[in-house]
Amino acid sequence: MISNPPTKTSNLGYQVLADRITNGQITRIVVLTGAGISTSAGIPDFRTPGTGLYDKLAPLNLPYPEAIFSISYFTHTPEPFYAIARARHPGNLKPTISHAFLALLAKKNLLHFLFTQNIDGLEEDAGVPVDKLLWTHGNWKSQHCHKCHAEYPDDLMKNAIRAGEVPYCLKTECGAAVKPDVVFFGQSLPAEFEDRQKMAAEADLMLVMGTSLKVAPCSQLPRLVKEGVPRILINMEGAGDMGNRGQDLCILGTCDNGVRELADALGWRDELETLWKDA
């Protein structure tokens, strides 16, 4: 896996790709997103040095940073997760213009499918139809006891997160910690992923945004795109094998700038800004 910025960006300029979209040659765009599309909404990613969550965990004395999202660790020590939960899930967040760009693709019937690794739910808030997206790592919209899987009320969960306290199962015979329905390390992805991942091979363009491509199996989705099909990376740094294929285009910088540039090339900029403002 290559994680350095690619030296070669593309033999295709994005005006060429934009023209293929506007003239109807490209109609099935598959998108993979990660934490980088939500950092400008105020949610830090995991791995960016200095600002990412993994650099801020020292006071919690974890055995290793990923333990905070590991199911085997959570089972006996859920407190660190709830110590940071409020900051990870502040509520009342506004989708970014990158989320609005995804909604615009859907509005124009160009979004074949969106795989998001994010758990913040901002894609739906921006207007991406839920039948066009899969939260591959779950989301914060519901929660269950991690042991007996009993449901747990939303209002009690909100109180626990606000207070930074561990919520426990209401069944007295259980009493285990409650966990939001996000996929922790060591847990399976939603069953739907198995079937949906085939959609990457149906793409006539893949767009990868704001992800380090370090978490499997989503990190493998860009490799499922057929050879000869263009793939675009918009990210602060190189990721995975993006940039290795002749049809790849790597736009290194922020997602928000990248989608604005793409929207300019597509002639959609005003429509994008309006959609975002109204989200």
**Which active-site residues does the annotation give?**
137
Residue whose tokens read 């994005």: 14
Handedness of CA 238, 273, 97, 205 (dihedral sign): negative
CA atoms within 13 Å, Cβ hemisphere of 9: 12
Radius of gyration of the chain (CA): 19
Handedness of CA 59, 63, 69, 72 (dihedral sign): negative
CB 175 within 8 A of CB 166: no
**Interface residues for ligand CNA in 141-180 (CB under 6 A)?**
none
Handedness of CA 234, 240, 243, 246 (dihedral sign): negative
Does the annotation place 174 within a ligand binding site?
Answer: yes
The SS3 call for residue 71 is helix
Q: In this complex, which beta carbon is closest to ligand CNA, that of residue 137 or of residue 196?
A: 137
Q: By CB under 6 A, which span of 100-108, 118-126, 188-196, 198-206 interacts with ligand CNA?
A: 118-126
- Considering the rule CB under 6 A, would residue 43 count as an interface residue with ligand CNA? yes
- Considering the rule CB under 6 A, would residue 214 count as an interface residue with ligand CNA? yes
Q: Per-residue x/- mask for ligand CNA, residues 51 to 80, rule CB under 6 A?
A: -x----------------------------
Among 10, 32, 45, 180, binds ligand CNA (CB under 6 A): 45
Q: In this complex, which beta carbon is closest to ligand CNA, that of residue 179 or of residue 204?
A: 179
Annotated binding site for Zn(2+): 145, 148, 169, 174
Annotated binding site: 35-39, 45-47, 117-120, 145, 148, 169, 174, 211-212, 235-237, 255
